[in-house]
Amino acid sequence: MTWRRPHGWVIVLIILVSATWVVLTETRKSAELTALPDELRYTSVHVAPGAERIFDAERARRIIGDRPIAVIVGERTGMCADFADILPGVIVLWVNDVPRMPIKTCDGGSPYYERNLTATAREAVTLLDTDHDWTVHVEEYVRAFDAHVAETFPGTPPPARGPPRPANDGAVEKIVLVMSAAMGVVLLVVVAFLVREVWSLAEYVLRRRRDWRARTNARLNRLADRVLRLTEPGSTSTRRAATAKGYVLLLQAFESATNEAQRFAVDEQLRELEWQAGIPLPEDRAARRPPAP
């Protein structure tokens, strides 16, 4: 059976790696979301450890009131979108010390969301001390938010934050557990498939080498018989010496051939000597050569 290079397992590996990345991402996100259930589900401010010295959480909560705004301070920027996913109708305000972008917002589906408000708030704090007090970012954003609501929704009472979604009931963990088990099965199947393919490839290579050596050895024996016949009357000494020398060198190359390039060189030299010795060649090569002298 001719071995064929596998392609299906490459696709399976790509799917497996992608699924692994998704599961790990969801697991990390689930762990982060469940680690802060009370601070952002039922209050408006979460401050990461170490950021308390430059952010007054209680003051920020008083400024925000019951507006649909939640603030995360000192966390990685990806958590802005993560928490916007679980806080319906809430604008998540991310505050940090990143140059040129100390604040950003993520929309949780609030009708009062306006992207340009963050730029307005950033411009408003340019002359304020934000190195030692990040709370001013919240003040300016709330001021811009109120102005936007008053202008866009005149006569509408200030919007209040809606009820939070139910706390995580472990559904994500159950899904992750099922997906992990399924991925384990898929991984075992892929490993078994790879082992089978590697074994098939090794068998194919060894069988091809054995077949080549057997076939070439038979041709060398036939060439040796023809070289001996060149000593008969009618054969020129020059032709006899050249063919005999070539045979000896070819035999040495055959015994030392260990890779495809060396085996190919042996085949070419053998064809040349067979032609010189008058051994019939395959039709495709014989048609391109003049008859042997």
Tens digit of each residue's pLDDT (9 = 90 or more) over 3-40: 454 556 566 666 666 666 666 666 555 555 555 546 67
Q: Which band of pLDDT confidence, cut at 50, 70 and 90, is reported for residue 142?
A: very high
Contacts of 87 (CB under 8 A, 6+ apart): 40, 41, 70, 108, 164, 165
Which residue range is the domain that position 247 belongs to? Answer: 196-286
Q: Which band of pLDDT confidence, cut at 50, 70 and 90, is reported for residue 104?
A: confident
> 129: which 2 tokens?
């001390």
Q: Confirm whether 235 is domain-assigned.
A: yes
* Tokens 């806080």, residue located: 87
Q: Confirm whether 227 is domain-assigned.
A: yes
| pLDDT surpasses 80 at 169 | no
Question: Looking at 112, 141, 163, which one is the last position of a domain?
Answer: 163
Q: What pLDDT sits at residue 1? A: 44
| pLDDT surpasses 50 at 103 | yes
Give the three-class secondary structure for 202: helix
Tens digit of each residue's pLDDT (9 = 90 or more) over 66-84: 888 889 888 887 778 877 8
Q: Confirm whether 169 is domain-assigned.
A: no
Residues 154 and 206 in one domain: no
Rounded-to-integer distance, Cα 74 and Cα 98, Å? 10
Q: What pLDDT sits at residue 76? A: 80
Q: Which DSSP symbol is given to 292?
A: P
The CATH number of residue 123's host domain is 3.10.310.50
Q: What pLDDT sits at residue 212? A: 86
Tens digit of each residue's pLDDT (9 = 90 or more) over 34-64: 555 466 767 788 888 888 888 888 999 999 9
Q: Confirm whether 207 is domain-assigned.
A: yes
Tens digit of each residue's pLDDT (9 = 90 or more) over 188-237: 777 887 888 888 888 888 888 888 888 888 888 888 887 777 655 555 56
Q: What pLDDT sits at residue 109? A: 79
Q: Confirm whether 59 is domain-assigned.
A: yes
Domains identified in the chain, total number? 2
Q: Confirm whether 245 is domain-assigned.
A: yes
Comparing 105-109, 121-125, 129-133, 170-174, which segment has the lowest mean pLDDT?
170-174
| pLDDT surpasses 80 at 118 | yes
Q: Which DSSP symbol is given to 53?
A: G
Q: What pLDDT sits at residue 286? A: 46
Q: Confirm whether 31 is domain-assigned.
A: no
> 242: which 2 tokens?
């050249």
Q: Above pLDDT 90, what percent of the chain? A: 4
> Phi and psi dihedrals of 80, rounded to 5?
-60, -50
Q: What is the mean pLDDT of residues 225-250?
A: 70
Q: Confirm whether 280 is domain-assigned.
A: yes
Q: Residue 73's closest CA among 110, 108, 44?
A: 44
Angle at 149 between CA 145 and CA 151, to 5 degrees: 115
Higher local confidence (pLDDT), 279 or 26: 279
Q: Which DSSP symbol is given to 76?
A: -
Residues 155 and 203 in one domain: no
Question: Looking at 146, 163, 180, which one is the last position of a domain?
Answer: 163
Residues 152 and 53 in one domain: yes
